[in-house]
């Protein structure tokens, strides 16, 4: 029961974070950058700091370990195994691309029509 609740919470947080990351990408692609775009960047950076503090793992993964000795990458979240395994690589890349585009638009001084 505890592991199921952790997996559910972890999945909900993951969905929210993916939405935030895609907001960064959308902001970068469209050039529609506002305070929410920068808050989204801050939230993702804060998440990265938390992951660093916990040795590259989500704190929920650390808690879930108490309830499972599974070696699967998705033992603590409702994601396909391959996505759970490469999650950080995929979404870090997507986030960085969005951030680069945001920065490009933020510092672009060419005249707008």
Q: Which two tokens stand for residue 20?
A: 């935030």
How far is residue 63 from each of residues 6, 45, 68, 96, measured CA to CA in Å?
8, 22, 10, 29
**Is 103 a residue whose pLDDT tops 70?**
yes
pLDDT in tens, 43-95: 999 999 999 999 999 999 999 999 999 999 999 999 999 999 999 999 999 99
**Is 22 a residue whose pLDDT tops 80?**
yes
DSSP one-letter code for 57: S
């Amino acid at each position: 029961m505890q592991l199921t609740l952790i997996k559910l919470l972890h999945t909900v947080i993951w969905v929210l974070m993916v939405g935030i990351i895609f907001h960064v990408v959308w902001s970068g692609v469209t050039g529609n950058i506002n305070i929410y775009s920068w808050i989204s960047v801050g939230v993702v950076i804060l998440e990265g700091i938390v992951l660093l503090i916990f040795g590259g793992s989500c704190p929920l993964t650390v808690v879930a370990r108490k309830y499972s000795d599974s070696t699967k990458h998705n033992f603590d979240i409702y994601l396909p195994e391959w996505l759970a395994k490469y999650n950080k690589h995929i979404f870090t890349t997507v986030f960085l691309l969005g951030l680069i585009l945001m920065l490009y638009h933020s510092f672009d001084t060419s005249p707008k029509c």
